[in-house]
C-alpha cells in the first residue's frame, strides 16, 4: 500500500488530524491539483472494475469450446487429408460463421454492461488548494476533500471531517431501510462497518443535511468495490437450457463418434478403401451434427432479448431469456417492484374528521376528500389545514421534475409524501415559504423521535413552531387539540392513539403533527430543544401513508400464479407493512392470523433447518424482516428442491442472492451498480409486471427453441442414417459431406431461424412451468423425430436408387436426394410452427418470416440444381420434372404423417388446468446434490455486511 492511501476499515477509529496526516492531505484545503493528478496516475480512476470480463481472443476461443464443434473440426481435417479441400473449406466456414455469431452477441452483452456502468457515474464537489470545484467522480483520489449534501450520491468512501444534520440512505449497502444520522466523532476500532457513523460509503445517497470528508478509499478499494469483487468471483450458474444443451451435446457427440467409427470399420472390413470409408465417416459425422443449432440458439435468444427490451427488460446474459420461461418461483422485493417506491399519504385523521386522499406517487394528481366523499374544505385555521401545513413546513425534502417529465424526490420519502398531499389540498410550497419563512430547525433524532421547525408568520410577525414525528412522542408534547370549529380544547390522547393504531393495522405508516405559537420560542438549537421538550403544543392531526402497490402488479401476480409460478414477497420491511401490501397485490387472501404459515419473519427463517426452511418457503407468500444472508438461504433452499428461482433486488446487499438465483433481476432506476452486475436481467421500469412479461417472453423463446430442435433433428438423424445404411449395404453414398453441409446451413438460416419469429401461442401463461428435470426432447417429440427421420431415410435411399436405375448420373441422383431432404424440411417446418396445433389453426400465412424463408430456400435449391458454378462446388446436376414430382409426393407424405401424429396425441393429452397452485418440480429421489450453489457458497468467503434487515 502506498504512503498516500489508507484503509477505510481503520480510519473510523482515528482522529481527523491523524487521518489527514496518514493521507498527506489537508482537512481544510484538500490536495493540490498537481498532487491529485499524480495520485490519479498511481491509483487509477475511481470506478469499479469489470470483474469477470474477457478479452476478444478468449471470447473467440470460447465459441469453439463445444463437443460438436470439435467433431466438425476433426471432420474438416479428415476431408482435407482425403483430398477434398472444398468440403474442408465449407466445414471450416460453418465453424467460423457460428463462432462469429456467438462472438458478436457476447460483445454486445459486454457493451450493454458498460453502458449500464456508465449510467451510475456522477459528479463530485471537491476542494483542491482551498477552492471548491466540480469533477467527474472517477477523477477522485485518496486524500481528496469532498463535500456532500442532500440529493448527492456519495462518490467514494469518506471519513467525515465535519457534518451538519447529515443523514445518509445506506439501504443499498447495508440493508438499513431508514436514513442513518452521521457525524465526525471518533469511534472504537472494533465498530463494524454498518455502524461506522463517521464514514459515508461510496454508492449511498445523502437524504438530508450536509458534510465534508476526506476520501479514504476509491474504486475497488471501497466497501462497495469489495462486495463487487466477491460477487464477481462467483461462478455463473448453469441455466436449464445450457444444462440440457450440454447434456444433449455430450450424448450426441458420443453417438456420432461411435457411428462414424462403426461406419469406417464396417466398410474397411467389407473390403472398401480406407479413404472412401473415411469420407463416409466424415459424411455421417457432418450429417448427424446440427450445425445450425448453436447459431439458432444464439439468434433465438437474441430475438427474445430484443422483445424483452421492448417490454422494458434488459437481458445481460442470453440464456437468462429461456431461464425466465422455466421459472417456478419468483422471490420479489417489495419496495419499487410490487410497489411504486413513492410514499403516498392515503388518509389524514384530525380530531374532527377522517379524510381520504386519492392519487399515488409524487404526482400531484389527486384530491383530499371528506367523509362524505366531497372535496375537503381546507379552511385556514382548521385542523386539516394545520395538519397539512405542519407536515409541509417542518420538512427538508424537495420535489423536482426529471428530464422525462416525471416528478422526482430529493430527500426523505416520508417528507416527500407530506409535500405532495399539501399540494393536492391546494397549499403551494412557494407560497407557504413566503407566508411562513423558516427561522430555526431542530432536526429529527432517534432520541426525540420528532423534528421541529420555527417559522415567522409574515402577517403577524409571530413565531410559530411546527413539529412532526412518532405519534406516541408528539401526543405527549400536546396539551390541546383543534376542534371542528377551529378552537382549542384539551387533547384526547387516547383517541389519538386509538386512531393511530387503527391506521397502522392497515399497513400505513402514521406521522403525527402539532403546532405551537408564542413569542418566547427560541432560535438557538439547544434552547429550542428544551422548549420543544417542554410541550405546550396543539395537536393538529395524523398523516397515514404507504408505498402504494403498482397498478399492474396485481394483474401480473394473478397471471404468474395462473401460470403455476409461485410468487413470494421477500422484504426487510416490517411485518404489518409487508402483510398489507401482500394483501393488496393478491399474495394473501383475507385476514392473516398469528401463526399463519404463509407469513414468515427473519427470526423464523433463522430458526429453521435447511430442510424445514424449504418446506416453509414453499408454503409461504410473505417473508418479512429478512436479512440479505437469509435471502441467500432462501434461494439455496428452493434450488435444493429443484426449483428454478428468479430473485429481484436493488441493493449491494442483494447481490449474492441475485448471483445465486437462476435468474437475478435488478432494478434499473434505483438499483446499484453491483446489483446490476450480479443480475441477469435489469428492469428499466422497476415494475413486477415487467417480470411477468419477461416470463411470458421466455416461455415463447423456449417454445421456439424446442420447435427448431424438433424440426432440425430429423434431418440430421436421417443424413447420418442414410450414410450408415449405404455403407452397410455396400452402395454409393446418396449424399456427400459438402451437400449435407449445404442442406444443414441453408435450411437452418432460411427455414429454421424463421421459427424464432413465431408468435407466442395462445394460453402460454395458463400452463404450468416446464419441470426443471424434464429432458430437452420429450418422448412424444422423440417419436415424431424418429418417424420423420424414417421417412427421410427410406425416401432418399429409394429415390437415389430409383434415379440411378432409370439412367441418371450419380450427381443427378444425389441432387434429387438433396432436394428431397429440403422439400421434406419445408413442409415439416409448417408442422413445427406448433407442436400441438395444426398449421390451419395457426393460419398458414400468419408468420410472414416463414413464408419469406421458404421462398429464399426454393430459390437456393433452384440455384444449386441448375447453376453450373454450383455443380462444380457441390457435385450436383440438373434434374427433370418427374424427379420433382416424386420429391413432392414424399414431402406431402411427411406432412400427412405429422398431422396424424398431432391428431392422435391431441386426443391423448389431458386439458391444461389454469389453476393458481404453484407447480412443484418432481423430485428424483435426491436433491440437486453437488450443483453450483455449493461452489458459490464457498466462493463467498466474506459475508455481505448487514445492519438490521434488508430493504
Q: What is the pairing mode between strands 205-217 and 157-169?
A: antiparallel
How high is the pLDDT of residue 87?
Answer: 61
Contacts with 35 (C-beta within 8 Å, 6 or more apart), sequence order: 143
- 941 has a pLDDT exceeding 60: no
C-alpha cell at 656: 449474492
The mean pLDDT of 784-792, rounded to a whole number, is 88
Better-predicted residue by pLDDT, 90 or 855: 855
Q: Reduced to 3 states, what is the DSSP secondary structure of residue 443?
A: strand
Q: How far apart are CA 739 and CA 752, in angstroms?
A: 18
Residue 924 — pLDDT band, cuts 50, 70, 90?
A: very low
Residue 927 — pLDDT band, cuts 50, 70, 90?
A: very low
Other Cβ atoms within 10 Å of 158 Cβ, number: 29
For 651-668, what is each residue's pLDDT tens digit? 776 777 888 888 888 887
Highest mean pLDDT among 116-130, 547-561, 581-595: 547-561
Written as one string, the DSSP assignment of 362-411 is TS----EE-TTSSBP---TTSHHHHHHHHHHHS---EEEE-TTS-EEEES
Between the two ends of the chain, the Cα-to-Cα distance in Å is 35
- 90 has a pLDDT exceeding 70: no
Question: How does 681-707 read in b/e, with b if 16+ C-beta sit within 10 Å?
Answer: bbbebbbbbbbbbbbbbbbbbbbbbbb
Q: How far apart are CA 151 and CA 710, in angstroms?
A: 55
- 679 has a pLDDT exceeding 80: yes
How high is the pLDDT of residue 236?
Answer: 52
Using CA atoms in the order 310, 311, 312, 315, what is the torsion angle rounded to 10 degrees?
Answer: -80
Q: How far apart are CA 462 and CA 442, in angstroms?
A: 18
| Phi and psi angles of residue 208, each rounded to the nearest 5 degrees, phi first | -165, 155
Q: Reduced to 3 states, what is the DSSP secondary structure of residue 38?
A: helix
Other Cβ atoms within 10 Å of 258 Cβ, number: 10
Q: How far apart are CA 360 and CA 340, in angstroms?
A: 8
Lowest mean pLDDT among 71-80, 333-342, 901-910, 939-948: 939-948
Cβ(482)–Cβ(387) below 8 Å: no
How high is the pLDDT of residue 513?
Answer: 97
- 603 has a pLDDT exceeding 90: no
Q: What is the largest CA-CA distance in the chain?
A: 119
The mean pLDDT of 637-654, rounded to a whole number, is 83
Residue 273 — pLDDT band, cuts 50, 70, 90?
A: confident
- 118 has a pLDDT exceeding 80: no
Lowest mean pLDDT among 120-129, 526-535, 902-911, 919-928: 919-928
Better-predicted residue by pLDDT, 120 or 735: 735
C-alpha cell at 537: 403544543
Residue 949 — pLDDT band, cuts 50, 70, 90?
A: very low
- 915 has a pLDDT exceeding 90: no
Lowest mean pLDDT among 553-562, 793-802, 851-860: 553-562
Better-predicted residue by pLDDT, 374 or 909: 374
How high is the pLDDT of residue 909?
Answer: 58
Residue 464 — pLDDT band, cuts 50, 70, 90?
A: very high
- Three-state secondary structure of 39-91: HHHHHCCCCCCCCCCCCHHHHHHHHCCCHHHHHHHHHHHHHHHCCCHHHHHHH
- 917 has a pLDDT exceeding 50: no
How high is the pLDDT of residue 920?
Answer: 42
Lowest mean pLDDT among 21-35, 506-520, 896-910: 896-910
Written as one string, the DSSP assignment of 867-932 is -HHHHHHH------HHHHHHHHHHHHHHHHHHHHHHHHHHHHSPPPP---SPP-PPP-SS---S-H
- 337 has a pLDDT exceeding 90: no
Instruction: Round the average pLDDT of the chain to a whole number and report it.
Output: 81
Residue 174 — pLDDT band, cuts 50, 70, 90?
A: low
Contacts with 461 (C-beta within 8 Å, 6 or more apart), sequence order: none
Lowest mean pLDDT among 133-137, 483-487, 929-933: 929-933
The mean pLDDT of 732-743, rounded to a whole number, is 85
How high is the pLDDT of residue 370?
Answer: 93
Residue 438 — pLDDT band, cuts 50, 70, 90?
A: very high
Q: How far apart are CA 858 and CA 292, in angstroms?
A: 19
Q: How far apart are CA 327 and CA 349, in angstroms?
A: 44
The mean pLDDT of 856-882, rounded to a whole number, is 94
CA 664 to chain centre: 5
- 196 has a pLDDT exceeding 60: yes
Q: How far apart are CA 330 and CA 569, in angstroms?
A: 8
How high is the pLDDT of residue 153?
Answer: 85
Residue 922 — pLDDT band, cuts 50, 70, 90?
A: very low
Residue 572 — pLDDT band, cuts 50, 70, 90?
A: confident
The percent of residues in the chain predicted with pLDDT above 70, rounded, is 82
How high is the pLDDT of residue 612?
Answer: 81
The overall pTM is greater than 0.75: no
Q: How far apart are CA 291 and CA 268, in angstroms?
A: 28
How high is the pLDDT of residue 86?
Answer: 63
Better-predicted residue by pLDDT, 161 or 4: 161
How high is the pLDDT of residue 1?
Answer: 37
CA-to-CA separations, 609 to 612, 617, 634, in angstroms, rounded: 5, 12, 11
Look at residues 171, 166, 230 and name the one whose alpha carbon lies nearest to residue 203. 171
How high is the pLDDT of residue 34?
Answer: 93
Cβ(382)–Cβ(541) below 8 Å: no
Better-predicted residue by pLDDT, 154 or 49: 154
Beta bridge partners of 465: 454, 516
Lowest mean pLDDT among 11-25, 504-518, 728-742: 728-742
The mean pLDDT of 614-624, rounded to a whole number, is 79
Residue 880 — pLDDT band, cuts 50, 70, 90?
A: very high
The percent of residues in the chain predicted with pLDDT above 90, rounded, is 26
Better-predicted residue by pLDDT, 518 or 316: 518
* Residues with a known catalytic role: 333
Q: How far apart are CA 100 and CA 644, in angstroms?
A: 31
Q: How far apart are CA 357 and CA 353, in angstroms?
A: 13
C-alpha cell at 833: 410452427
How many alpha carbons fall within 13 Å on the CB side of residue 577? 23
Q: What is the pairing mode between strands 645-649 and 329-332?
A: parallel
- 721 has a pLDDT exceeding 90: no
- 105 has a pLDDT exceeding 70: no
For 218-259, what is each residue's pLDDT tens digit? 988 888 777 666 565 555 555 566 667 667 777 777 877 888
Q: Reduced to 3 states, what is the DSSP secondary structure of residue 804?
A: helix
Cβ(213)–Cβ(19) below 8 Å: no
Residue 26 — pLDDT band, cuts 50, 70, 90?
A: very high
How high is the pLDDT of residue 934?
Answer: 35
Amino acid at each position: 500500500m502506498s504512503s498516500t492511501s489508507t484503509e477505510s476499515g481503520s480510519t473510523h477509529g482515528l482522529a481527523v488530524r491523524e487521518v489527514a496526516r496518514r493521507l498527506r492531505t489537508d482537512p481544510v484545503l484538500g490536495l493540490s491539483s498537481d498532487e491529485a493528478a499524480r495520485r490519479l496516475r498511481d491509483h487509477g480512476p475511481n470506478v469499479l472494475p469489470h470483474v469477470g470480463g474477457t478479452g476478444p481472443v478468449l471470447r473467440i476461443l470460447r465459441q469453439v469450446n463445444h463437443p460438436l464443434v470439435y467433431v466438425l473440426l476433426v471432420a474438416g481435417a479428415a476431408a482435407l487429408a482425403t483430398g477434398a479441400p472444398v468440403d474442408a473449406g465449407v466445414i471450416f466456414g460453418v465453424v467460423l460463421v457460428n463462432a462469429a455469431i456467438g462472438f458478436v452477441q457476447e460483445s454486445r452483452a459486454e457493451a450493454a454492461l458498460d453502458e449500464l456502468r456508465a449510467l451510475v457515474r456522477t459528479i463530485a464537489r471537491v476542494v483542491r488548494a482551498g477552492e471548491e470545484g466540480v469533477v467527474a467522480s472517477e477523477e477522485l483520489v485518496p486524500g481528496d476533500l469532498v463535500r456532500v449534501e442532500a440529493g448527492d450520491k456519495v462518490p467514494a468512501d469518506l471519513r467525515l471531517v465535519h457534518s451538519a444534520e447529515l443523514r445518509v440512505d445506506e439501504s443499498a449497502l447495508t440493508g438499513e431501510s431508514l436514513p442513518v444520522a452521521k457525524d465526525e466523532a471518533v469511534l472504537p476500532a472494533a465498530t463494524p462497518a454498518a455502524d461506522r457513523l463517521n464514514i459515508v460509503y461510496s454508492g449511498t445517497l445523502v437524504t438530508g443535511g450536509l458534510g465534508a470528508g476526506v476520501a479514504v478509499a476509491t474504486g475497488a478499494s471501497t466497501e462497495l468495490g469489495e462486495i463487487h469483487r466477491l460477487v464477481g468471483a462467483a461462478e455463473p450458474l448453469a441455466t436449464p437450457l445450457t444444462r440440457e444443451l450440454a447434456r444433449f451435446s455430450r450424448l450426441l457427440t458420443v453417438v456420432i463418434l461411435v457411428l462414424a467409427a462403426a461406419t469406417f470399420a464396417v466398410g474397411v472390413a467389407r473390403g472398401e478403401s480406407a479413404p472412401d470409408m473415411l469420407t463416409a465417416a466424415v459424411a455421417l459425422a457432418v450429417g448427424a451434427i446440427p450445425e445450425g443449432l448453436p447459431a439458432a440458439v444464439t439468434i433465438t435468444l437474441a430475438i427474445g432479448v430484443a422483445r424483452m427490451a421492448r417490454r422494458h427488460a434488459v437481458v445481460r446474459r442470453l440464456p437468462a431469456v429461456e431461464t425466465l420461461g422455466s421459472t417456478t418461483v419468483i422471490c420479489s422485493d417489495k419496495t419499487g417492484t410490487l410497489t411504486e417506491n413513492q410514499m403516498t399519504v392515503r388518509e389524514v385523521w384530525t380530531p374532527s374528521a377522517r379524510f381520504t386522499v386519492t392519487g399515488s406517487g409524487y404526482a400531484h394528481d389527486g384530491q383530499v376528500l371528506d367523509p362524505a366523499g366531497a372535496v375537503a374544505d381546507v379552511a385556514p385555521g382548521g385542523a386539516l389545514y394545520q395538519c397539512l401545513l405542519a407536515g409541509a413546513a417542518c420538512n427538508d425534502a424537495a420535489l423536482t421534475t426529471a428530464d422525462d417529465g416525471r416528478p422526482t424526490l430529493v430527500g426523505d420519502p416520508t417528507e416527500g409524501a407530506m409535500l405532495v398531499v399539501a399540494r393536492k389540498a391546494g397549499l403551494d410550497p412557494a407560497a407557504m415559504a413566503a407566508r411562513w419563512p423558516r427561522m430555526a430547525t431542530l432536526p429529527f433524532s432517534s432520541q426525540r423521535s420528532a423534528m421541529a421547525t420555527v417559522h415567522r408568520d409574515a402577517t403577524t410577525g409571530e413565531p410559530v413552531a411546527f413539529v412532526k414525528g412518532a405519534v406516541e412522542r408528539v401526543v405527549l408534547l400536546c396539551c390541546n387539540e383543534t376542534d371542528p370549529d377551529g378552537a382549542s380544547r384539551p387533547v384526547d390522547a387516547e383517541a389519538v392513539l386509538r386512531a393511530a393504531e387503527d391506521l397502522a393495522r392497515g399497513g400505513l405508516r402514521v406521522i403525527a403533527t402539532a403546532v405551537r405559537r408564542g413569542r418566547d420560542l427560541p432560535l438557538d438549537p439547544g434552547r429550542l430543544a428544551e422548549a420543544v421538550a417542554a410541550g405546550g403544543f396543539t395537536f393538529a392531526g395524523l398523516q397515514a401513508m404507504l408505498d402504494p402497490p403498482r397498478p399492474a402488479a396485481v394483474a401480473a401476480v394473478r397471471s404468474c400464479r395462473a401460470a403455476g409460478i409461485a410468487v413470494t414477497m421477500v422484504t426487510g420491511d416490517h411485518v404489518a407493512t409487508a402483510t398489507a401490501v401482500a394483501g393488496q397485490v393478491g399474495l394473501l387472501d383475507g385476514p392473516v392470523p398469528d401463526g399463519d404459515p404463509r407469513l414468515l419473519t427473519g427470526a423464523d427463517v433463522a430458526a429453521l433447518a435447511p430442510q424445514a426452511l424449504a418446506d416453509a418457503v414453499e408454503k409461504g407468500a410473505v417473508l418479512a424482516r429478512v436479512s440479505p444472508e437469509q435471502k441467500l438461504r432462501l434461494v439455496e433452499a428452493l434450488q435444493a428442491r429443484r426449483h428454478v428461482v428468479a430473485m429481484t433486488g436493488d441493493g449491494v446487499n442483494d447481490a449474492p442472492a441475485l448471483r445465486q438465483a437462476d435468474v437475478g433481476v435488478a432494478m434499473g432506476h434505483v438499483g446499484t451498480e453491483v446489483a446490476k452486475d450480479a443480475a441477469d436481467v435489469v428492469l428499466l421500469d422497476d415494475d413486477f409486471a415487467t417480470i411477468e412479461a419477461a416470463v411470458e417472453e421466455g416461455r415463447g423463446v423456449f417454445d421456439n427453441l424446442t420447435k427448431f430442435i424438433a424440426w432440425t433433428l430429423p434431418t440430421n438423424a436421417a443424413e447420418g442414417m442414410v450414410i450408415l445404411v449405404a455403407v452397410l449395404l455396400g452402395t454409393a453414398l446418396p449424399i456427400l459431406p459438402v451437400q449435407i453441409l449445404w442442406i444443414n446451413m441453408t435450411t437452418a438460416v432460411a427455414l429454421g431461424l424463421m421459427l424464432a419469429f413465431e408468435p407466442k401461442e395462445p394460453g402460454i401463461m395458463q400452463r404450468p412451468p416446464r419441470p426443471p428435470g424434464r429432458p430437452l426432447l420429450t418422448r412424444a417429440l422423440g417419436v415424431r423425430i424418429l418417424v420423420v427421420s424414417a421417412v427421410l431415410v427410406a425416401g432418399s435411399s429409394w429415390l437415389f436408387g430409383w434415379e440411378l436405375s432409370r439412367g441418371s448420373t450419380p450427381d443427378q441422383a444425389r441432387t434429387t436426394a438433396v432436394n428431397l431432404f429440403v422439400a421434406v424440411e419445408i413442409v415439416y417446418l409448417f408442422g413445427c410452427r406448433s407442436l400441438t396445433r395444426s398449421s390451419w389453426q395457426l393460419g398458414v400465412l400468419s408468420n410472414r418470416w416463414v413464408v419469406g424463408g421458404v421462398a429464399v430456400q426454393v430459390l437456393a435449391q433452384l440455384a444449386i440444381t441448375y447453376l453450373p458454378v454450383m455443380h462444380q462446388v457441390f457435385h450436383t446436376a440438373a434434374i427433370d420434372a418427374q424427379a420433382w414430382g416424386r420429391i413432392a409426393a414424399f414431402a406431402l407424405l411427411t406432412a400427412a404423417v405429422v398431422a396424424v401424429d398431432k391428431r392422435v396425441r391431441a386426443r391423448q393429452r389431458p386439458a391444461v388446468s389454469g389453476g393458481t397452485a404453484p407447480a412443484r418440480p418432481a423430485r428424483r429421489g435426491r436433491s440437486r446434490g453437488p450443483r453450483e450453489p455449493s461452489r458459490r457458497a464457498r466462493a463467498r468467503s466474506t459475508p455481505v455486511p448487514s445492519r438490521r434487515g434488508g430493504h
